[in-house]
Structure 1
């Protein structure tokens, strides 16, 4: 059976407890510097950064460009294939190469639909544009893997994204992305965040406290990111305008643990290091579920959020459970150091200038949907059998099996083979090694030999070695041709000295199908009748809805943004609340979307109160308020609703709620709202 919402068991096994500083898998890669590392300084944007737009004449791109121009961004033109002339009073050119030649851009904003985004990014790389910012969600994973393999070989272009809100320099009044501009204040705090809405919540809290920001980088929520946390840290270390660094992470990948390792080294070699504060969402994420963002899940050999938090804390990083607490953490750090926190607000004495530097860094879519289709044992083994791989009808004891898988090494930004000589519970990944390989060329002979050695098969009979080699080659082929993100197998020896597959579980990227219109044969296997009907229905309205299992839970949640939703649920639990669901309305929620979300939540008989927590970026707070009142009218709602609206049009939305005459409880403070939810839930 193929399920769209539940990951295979191998993806969700919890690793044995270990020191947070240790890697979950030993790797054959030593993470040598690549030419791409030379592009880190390209992230330092500012007032004179020359920006172009790809997809310049599109409706969304046009509106965004107008806002960014008003903010002060130095937009010098843009491109639309087949068009030439003017747009918004600026040059419009038919190709990126022509724009690069005539406009001499330092950065490009890629406002191109997901199915065409990879081609647009590649055009920008070929034109050697220093900074490429890709905002589109649902770009097929293998398109990004191909782009990543190109980026590693060059030293001119740096990518931010994809699935990113972009990058903004409040200190330099330069925005390349779609951040809500009213939230930002010039100052001296640098931010790197996986989640857009979580970064807005962070910035909003800082700005209210008079603490300004120097540079905010959206890492993005996809499996593979063009710029990661370590690269942002390297930039911030050498940025004189950044005095404090904030990290906003979430479940999935090793970015936060890689950051912790870098920070440990940074604080050893620097006499006066910059303070680092972090928040990591997804502590209470549902194991085996993709929590809104494409990359928000625990993949093969990865650790859950609580292990990431321990890693950061062991490195000396202060961690908080909600972005509104970043302010208190910064104030404590500055008080202990005898510093004045008011110095983090811009004093008008310095401005960012030209964004590209030749010096080296010192020191080490359209609709929200869950991603990932999962083929369980029977169908996965049939795929292998059809390619001539021996599979068993029955399964042997785990003690007689070995583990062989292919997945994505997010830190390396390329595929990796994972091999373990055992499948025994709790020992699979403790004894596993990861072997990253080139996406385009596949694993070389030395890598295959090392994998066989790791499986303890280097001295096996020739038939066993040959069959294992063929299986590995087949997995590599399926991974690339069918656009998978995790293929795992359990294998064992046979009496005739060969090898057979005992168990298999395959996961595929559904953006290849949804955005790229590829892999129809795989996705035709989806059986929606085996999935939760409410969650399938939510998907049709652009809502990511995941029911939580606790029978005593009683607080329904309605939140915009995957990272913010995960973090809000974590914080609610920390206050003693029990959420019944994870629900992300998406960054472009409308009043109709909100009404549909209420309808889904109200079907759950456990719900005694609903908590609405919205940070308006693209979503407008007054539109959300209208949706809440519409829901009360159309759904004949009887239970109380606690509402917290922040961001774009927040005052208008809050006024609509307070004057509605409905049983709505409006709050500005997250803590006060959470406590009210608990009180109302009884």
Structure 2
């Protein structure tokens, strides 16, 4: 789960990470009022969309207060398209109007983030002197990394040493360390999966300021943070994504592709998508029905996939373990009968109750394409989609 910048900065306030003064606005008129309330010579108007590269996409404008309304109006009207939005413009419903920050002599921009390093089974602090850039474009050797234990958090002396390694003077390294320690505390206590500041401004006299803020949270931990869960903005989601969320289905639609995928298990789902691409096809979605889906849940999963008009065929790839193949088969039959399914349906069942599942499908009268294994199913799905 991820949230908007202005929401992330409320968490920063709570953990005493310095941020610029700012006001959220939902209309051009509110943006104008906010700009004059800040009483600065220049303000920054920032579109609140969940995508990186906003500046290059016209989503960040530094203007005099009297031009804040026009800057906000342009964002509300056209939306924001960046390299992370899949070629489409995301709608802008709110902007954050912040005081302009004067870059003093000697002040530098840094990149700072904390993510979970699954191989090390610990959070890792990542820092770079190349702040303000897309971190993906920064060479690996210019990114410093420091792991820490969740039971202790980030030790101040380790954070300070990291700052010194970045080339900061002692007083500036102290300011940097205070931000790192606070960000580490936030990361652990709030069950974050990503906490990022880009850029972090550090001044020689020993002060720091988080210009941007990004927070993602672990969905599986939201039962411990019910107020945080309410912050998620579902406005950018498709109806199919919202329905999947309600049903606790892991569903991600893709911008391209015409082969709908219904699989049990995230690993098998990823492998299925890879094999489809390897044989010349393109998956239309990721959909994991999980290990204990009911017949009704499977039926709804098929409906969700069919709601995508790009889908020309569906590949159902099930390896029965906890998930029984006969339950999947019953769901397929129910969905086909309810929806009058006309698209080609490629099915591969293996494992728990596979024989019973195949028998249910054989007796259903449905026109199915059966597959012996995953590659065979992928090849048949690609062929069926091409002929549909």
Q: Does 1:438 align with 2:146?
A: no
Q: 1:438 to 1:625 in 2, by over 3 A?
A: closer
**Following the alignment from structure 2 to structure 1, what is the Cα–Cα distance between the partners of residues 184 and 219?**
18
**Following the alignment from structure 1 to structure 2, what is the Cα–Cα distance between the partners of residues 465 and 452?**
5
CA deviations 1:25-49 (Å, max 9, x no partner) are: xxxxxxxxxxxxxxxxxxxxxxxxx
Contact 2:269–2:286 (Cα < 8 Å) also in 1: yes
- How many residues get paired? 301
CA deviations 1:123-150 (Å, max 9, x no partner) are: xxxxxxxxxxxxxxxxxxxxxxxxxxxx
**Following the alignment from structure 1 to structure 2, what is the Cα–Cα distance between the partners of residues 629 and 521?**
40
Q: Does 1:383 align with 2:30?
A: no
The alpha carbon displacement at 1:521 in A equals: 2.8
Give the aligned partner of residue 570 of structure 1.
274
CA deviations 1:273-311 (Å, max 9, x no partner) are: xxxxxxxxxxxxxxxxxxxxxxxxxxxxxxxxxxxxxxx
Q: Does 1:506 align with 2:215?
A: yes
Q: Does 1:543 align with 2:249?
A: yes
Contact 2:159–2:176 (Cα < 8 Å) also in 1: no
Q: 1:537 to 1:639 in 2, by over 3 A?
A: same
Secondary structure of the residue aligned to 2:311 is coil
Residues 61-76 of structure 1: pairs in structure 2 closer than 5 A: none
Which segments of 5 or more consecutive residues in structure 1 lack a partner in the other structure? 1-372
Q: Does 1:674 align with 2:378?
A: yes
Q: 1:429 to 1:380 in 2, by over 3 A?
A: farther
Give the aligned partner of residue 473 of structure 1.
181
Secondary structure of the residue aligned to 1:417 is strand
Give the aligned partner of residue 638 of structure 1.
342
Give the aligned partner of residue 332 of structure 2.
628
Q: Does 1:409 align with 2:117?
A: yes
Residues 72-87 of structure 1: pairs in structure 2 closer than 5 A: none
**Following the alignment from structure 2 to structure 1, what is the Cα–Cα distance between the partners of residues 139 and 112?**
10
**Following the alignment from structure 1 to structure 2, what is the Cα–Cα distance between the partners of residues 374 and 631?**
33
The alpha carbon displacement at 1:494 in A equals: 4.7
Residues 508-657 of structure 1: pairs in structure 2 closer than 5 A: 508-514=217-223, 518-550=224-256, 553-657=257-361
The alpha carbon displacement at 1:452 in A equals: 1.0
**578-587 vs 379-388, which moves further:** 379-388
Q: Does 1:454 align with 2:165?
A: yes
Give the aligned partner of residue 51 of structure 2.
none
**Following the alignment from structure 1 to structure 2, what is the Cα–Cα distance between the partners of residues 572 and 593?**
24
Contact 2:174–2:206 (Cα < 8 Å) also in 1: no
**Following the alignment from structure 2 to structure 1, what is the Cα–Cα distance between the partners of residues 328 and 149?**
46
**Following the alignment from structure 2 to structure 1, what is the Cα–Cα distance between the partners of residues 145 and 250?**
32
Contact 1:556–1:579 (Cα < 8 Å) also in 2: yes
Structure 1 residue ranges, 4+ long, deviating more than 4 angstroms after superposition? 394-397, 494-497
Residues 93-242 of structure 1: pairs in structure 2 closer than 5 A: none
Q: 1:629 to 1:449 in 2, by over 3 A?
A: same
Q: 1:681 to 1:415 in 2, by over 3 A?
A: closer
Larger RCO of the pair (alpha carbons < 8 Å, separation 6+): 1
The alpha carbon displacement at 1:401 in A equals: 1.6
**649-658 vs 486-495, which moves further:** 486-495
The alpha carbon displacement at 1:498 in A equals: 2.8
| TM-score, scaled relative to structure 2 | 0.72
Secondary structure of the residue aligned to 2:235 is helix
Contact 1:612–1:644 (Cα < 8 Å) also in 2: yes
| TM-score, scaled relative to structure 1 | 0.42
Contact 1:420–1:428 (Cα < 8 Å) also in 2: no
Contact 1:654–1:666 (Cα < 8 Å) also in 2: no
The alpha carbon displacement at 1:445 in A equals: 4.3
